Amino acid sequence: MFDFDWYPDKSGNSHWQLSRADFVPAYLKLFETDRSVFRERIDEGLRVLAKCTVCPRDCRVNRMENETGKCRTGRHAWVSSYFAHFGEEDCLRGWNGSGTIFFSFCNLKCVFCQNHEISWKGAGREVTADEITGMMLSLQQRGCHNINFVTPEHVVPQVLEAIPAAIEKGLRLPIVYNTSGYDSLHSLKLMENIVDIYMPDFKFWDPGLSQFYMTESTYPEVTRAAVKEMHRQVGDLKCDEDGLALRGLLVRHLVMPNGVADEKEIFRFLADEISRNTYVNVMDQYFPDAQVVRKPDRYPDISRRITGSELKRARQAALDSGLHRLDERWRRMPL
């Protein structure tokens, strides 16, 4: 049984609302218009795997022959778990959960990663495209409101392989691309008119701190370009009559201790260069984990949780930038 505080269309603004009855997922429209596009994009994705430039790391290893680079993933994707997730934003989890598929490994190495067992150590198992198809359909059968690909940056070709069969077997849910933001424009364009909801993190603004905390100085530059491309494809986030997300961009920002993430600059970029209507989740769940716990003396600035005043300042910075669609929890968790 479910128990919610329920406030449909909380924004009260029909400009950001779509009718669930009229909504058709982007990939279904594309499939019905010209299904050969999927074969072309799959072939292109597999070609890129053979000298891998799927993500911005550009390792150029032959993943088709199971050579591995930074992401430690070969020909097939690895999945750690898939389930109805009730920890996502209300507009994704609804009352039946967001149908998450957690891909193992990652193309970043965040020293504070709260999923390091998955992203660093690769907890999970190797899966085929047919198995990913089965996961999507299983999540739909359970009543999930969307299919939520978590950390897909390095497995875009493998995801693409799974979608046509899922469509033919009845997949009809919005697809969520849930990413660190460290995505190549090439891969994002392969997903155009397939992804309905892009949900990138924007972690750090400063290249030096990005290198120190994530081992990649190009992260801010790459993520700015990626977010622009995502917004070009799907626009501002739109929800149905019950507040469930159907299409658009949702950006997450994890507030860090001592302001090391430069949230003011990130919010200014989103407001000025993307859209003041960008839906933003200013996240408060940072805690020291992974390498930060093991080596606190090396990472003193982030070796504690954030304070209430730091969260308040971050939210105010978002509002001061001109952003006004900040995520708030307005439903109780299911009992």
- Using a pLDDT cut of 70, give the percent of the chain over it: 94
Dig out the tokens for 52 from the structure: 């891998």
Q: Which residues pair with 280 in a beta bridge?
A: 251, 326
Domains of the chain, CATH where assigned: 28-326 (3.20.20.70)
Question: Residues 124-132: what's their mean pLDDT?
Answer: 97
Q: Please indicate whether residue 221 or residue 333 has the higher confidence score (pLDDT).
A: 221
Residue 331: band (very low, low, confident or very high) from pLDDT cuts 50, 70, 90: low
Residue 10, pLDDT > 80, answer no
Q: What pLDDT score does 330 carry?
A: 73
- E-assigned strands of 55-168? 78-85, 98-103, 125-126, 147-150
Given a contact cutoff of 8 angstroms between Cβ atoms, the answer to whether 130 and 165 are in contact is yes
Given a contact cutoff of 8 angstroms between Cβ atoms, the answer to whether 101 and 149 are in contact is yes
Q: Which tens digits make up the pLDDT trace of 185-230?
A: 999 999 999 999 999 999 999 999 999 999 999 999 999 999 999 9
CA geometry: angle at 210 spanning 102 and 266, to 5°? 85
Dig out the tokens for 165 from the structure: 């069969």
Return d(Cα 186, Cα 44) in angstroms, integer: 10
Count the neighbouring beta carbons within 10 Å of the beta carbon of residue 326: 14
Q: What pLDDT score does 335 carry?
A: 46
Return d(Cα 88, Cα 176) in angstroms, integer: 12
* Average pLDDT value for the chain: 93
Helix locations, the chain, DSSP H: 26-33, 36-49, 90-93, 116-119, 129-141, 156-168, 185-190, 207-214, 219-234, 263-269, 291-294, 308-321
Question: Residues 258-283: what's their mean pLDDT?
Answer: 98
Question: Residues 59-80: what's their mean pLDDT?
Answer: 97
Q: What pLDDT score does 8 carry?
A: 40
Residue 303: band (very low, low, confident or very high) from pLDDT cuts 50, 70, 90: very high
- Using a pLDDT cut of 90, give the percent of the chain over it: 88
Question: Residues 252-260: what's their mean pLDDT?
Answer: 97
Q: Which tens digits make up the pLDDT trace of 40-66?
A: 999 999 999 999 999 999 999 999 999
Residue 332: band (very low, low, confident or very high) from pLDDT cuts 50, 70, 90: low
Question: Residues 11-20: what's their mean pLDDT?
Answer: 72
Question: Residues 31-36: what's their mean pLDDT?
Answer: 95
Q: Which of 1, 12, 36 is nearest to 330 (CA)?
A: 12
Question: Residues 286-306: what's their mean pLDDT?
Answer: 95
Left, alpha or beta for 317 (phi > 0: left; psi -120 to 50: alpha)?
A: alpha
Name the DSSP class of 333: P
Residue 13, pLDDT > 60, answer no
Residue 119: band (very low, low, confident or very high) from pLDDT cuts 50, 70, 90: confident
Given a contact cutoff of 8 angstroms between Cβ atoms, the answer to whether 333 and 1 are in contact is no
Residue 331 to residues 12, 148, 267, 280, 314, Cα–Cα distance (Å):
16, 20, 26, 17, 23
Name the DSSP class of 259: G
Q: Which tens digits make up the pLDDT trace of 141-164?
A: 999 999 999 999 999 999 999 999
Return d(Cα 108, Cα 95) in angstroms, integer: 32
